[in-house]
Structure 1
């Protein structure tokens, strides 16, 4: 009998935690990836400050999410992210120049562009560019609605600078790592998803997201919720699920992502708040806490496919709270406002998903029975 045969079939939580802690401190592929993420985020923060970006946390998050797989894969994602960001920013500028920013125009625009961006993300060959196209347009238009005194060209420019800073940092770290650590621990290829063309279930799914997005301007009008763009990002992000698992209702797969986003954001937010309290404005402590949060979040993300999205949201919360726009004026309020907006996005989306599920209960039941038969 080999040592592997003596392992319990169902390890306890304590045993799983011990195993993950051993992996965390053991040099290897996962450690290399986690340290790459730390270096990428820190470099993105520095570059974002140097180029005059405003929302530094978005630059940091761009650097984090881009870093996946070998350098070739990272480069492709970087190019697609920049193309999507530039196109979304350009369309946002054009939108303001061609309209008077009436409420119905904003509602229609964020619904249409966000829906197209999500549908492209689910079905297109250059999916990542479609996603960033929709996200960038959404963020700029909602930020402009919230801050009427700001120039939309300035907003568009800072979005491009933020993504550019994160992208540049990610590419630099990926190239350096390829020449050093990745010679011993090569990065794993991310499985590619082939384009699916026209897909009615994906179209229905995108329409549900578009309806949720269209409600954000109305909510801002009556409740004046700050950082509302984060609610829009949440709506689009949690709706990104494999087309093959949609069926006639995306309620089940999206609900799992909603739960993981909620748990990940709460856990990451609590850790970040504790670090912020202990740091008491100390920049070195804030940076060290940011590094700790990145390593923990990426370690969770790399641990299992089931918890990957939870780890990503954990890191998002850490970056939102611990990466201020200005280290000279560190405060928890901006991070909390962005976190609240994330949960508002969830609250808007859930009733729409439930309604869509109930509209076609017979189809949903048929899909469920087919899935069950296939799994058996």
Structure 2
């Protein structure tokens, strides 16, 4: 009897180990090759100024979640003013529409878990499907994330008015952060026009144009697979949150959706590896920021200036890694977001690490559940359809 030939494909565990090792190696190379440049320093300075202005404005308007305004101030920032303005418009548009959907649907779904759970999954799945390969990808991501957050809060709030108030505050925080970022970007880029003349944009565009584009069939199959993975993960997380009454775990659902938003080029092949890379890099960046941040909080206490200096240093460092070329860009971006979560809390500077730890644990929960769903769905016909379309 002939022996069965060994399976040439590595096991999921071996693949995860390799991806983790590659991410840590890339981060190590980036830190070892710490070479500031005018362009990298300019982007980091813009991000620091934008985050600082967003924090100041959110405190001035007495907004509930200052950290969300600060994250908006960072997340909208791009390497050009036009890109920052467009991203800011998409962020505000998505947040407004998602907040409206959440405010209208949340009170009706909050007390009905048999509707609440599948509705959360459906919203997340549709947002993922529409965000992939869409011109308005960022608006779909923010719309889905905002709707999930508002409906999540609605199941703990007593009235429609309270839910609408929460949605309004979330929109206000995003608007404040975005309106802090876009003017800062405009001021910085007004002073960089002379430098921008010497960037070889034509060569970059020619190179991008020469890259082969995936077929419509492969894109459609990949979008369907990722959307179903997102829907299943978010539904499971919604059920766990509802049953266990976990506070602050909205970040778990946002994570399960955000890491599935791949660039169009990644939709041409098997999507499991690029999603796993994003999950590992998101977790690594958040874990590193959490460890550093929680260690610094007791030393800084509630001293506003010391906290702002530490926040600026963290944002600067994360942006420096994000703009590097050693393969750790997503680690740097996630480090910056998590560092903002740790230091910028609700109404005041505080040494209490609990709110930040709850948000970070939510991110970990999102990664764990999404990993389990991807493994469980890898043998389903939908996953094989995605592979066959390549």
User: Alignment partner of 1:346: what SS?
Assistant: helix
- Measure, in 2, the Cα distance between the counterparts of 1:33 and 1:116: 33
Residue 148 of structure 1 deviates from its aligned partner by 4.8
Deviates more, 1:194-203 or 1:177-186: 194-203
2:245 is aligned with 1:231: no
Contact map agreement 2:26 2:326 (CA 8 A) in 1: no
> CA RMSD, aligned part only?
3.1
Residue 348 of structure 1 deviates from its aligned partner by 1.1
2:95 is aligned with 1:85: yes
2:146 is aligned with 1:136: yes
2:141 is aligned with 1:120: no
Query: 1:152 maps to which residue?
Result: 163
Residue 366 of structure 1 deviates from its aligned partner by 6.4
Which of 34, 41, 57 in structure 2 is aligned with 1:31? 41
Query: 2:86 maps to which residue?
Result: 76
2:107 is aligned with 1:94: no
- Measure, in 2, the Cα distance between the counterparts of 1:273 and 1:170: 27
Which of 363, 367, 370 in structure 2 is aligned with 1:346? 367
Query: 1:199 maps to which residue?
Result: 220
Deviation by residue 1:12-36 (Cα, 9 ceiling, x = unmatched): 998864531xx23x5x011000000
Deviation by residue 1:307-344 (Cα, 9 ceiling, x = unmatched): 11111111111111111112255421100110111111
Which of 42, 52, 57 in structure 1 is aligned with 2:52? 42
Which of 163, 170, 188 in structure 2 is aligned with 1:177? 188
User: Alignment partner of 2:33: what SS?
Assistant: helix
Gaps of 5+ in 2: 1-24
Gaps of 5+ in 1: 1-10, 371-376
User: What TM-score does the superposition give when structure 2 sets the normalisation length?
Assistant: 0.82
- Measure, in 1, the Cα distance between the counterparts of 2:137 and 2:267: 17
1:179/1:248 CA distance change after superposition, 3 Å = closer
Residue 94 of structure 1 deviates from its aligned partner by 1.4
2:118 is aligned with 1:108: yes
- Measure, in 1, the Cα distance between the counterparts of 2:279 and 2:80: 29
Greater relative contact order, per chain length (Cα 8 Å cut-off, separation 6+): 2
User: Alignment partner of 1:113: what SS?
Assistant: helix
Deviates more, 1:241-250 or 1:269-278: 241-250
User: What TM-score does the superposition give when structure 1 sets the normalisation length?
Assistant: 0.85
1:225/1:362 CA distance change after superposition, 3 Å = closer
- Measure, in 1, the Cα distance between the counterparts of 2:79 and 2:248: 32
2:66 is aligned with 1:56: yes
- Measure, in 1, the Cα distance between the counterparts of 2:80 and 2:46: 12
Query: 1:323 maps to which residue?
Result: 344
Query: 2:177 maps to which residue?
Result: 166
Contact map agreement 1:70 1:188 (CA 8 A) in 2: no
- Measure, in 1, the Cα distance between the counterparts of 2:238 and 2:73: 29
How many correspondences in the alignment? 355
Query: 1:4 maps to which residue?
Result: none
Residue 53 of structure 1 deviates from its aligned partner by 2.0
Which of 281, 289, 295 in structure 2 is aligned with 1:274? 295
Residue 55 of structure 1 deviates from its aligned partner by 1.3
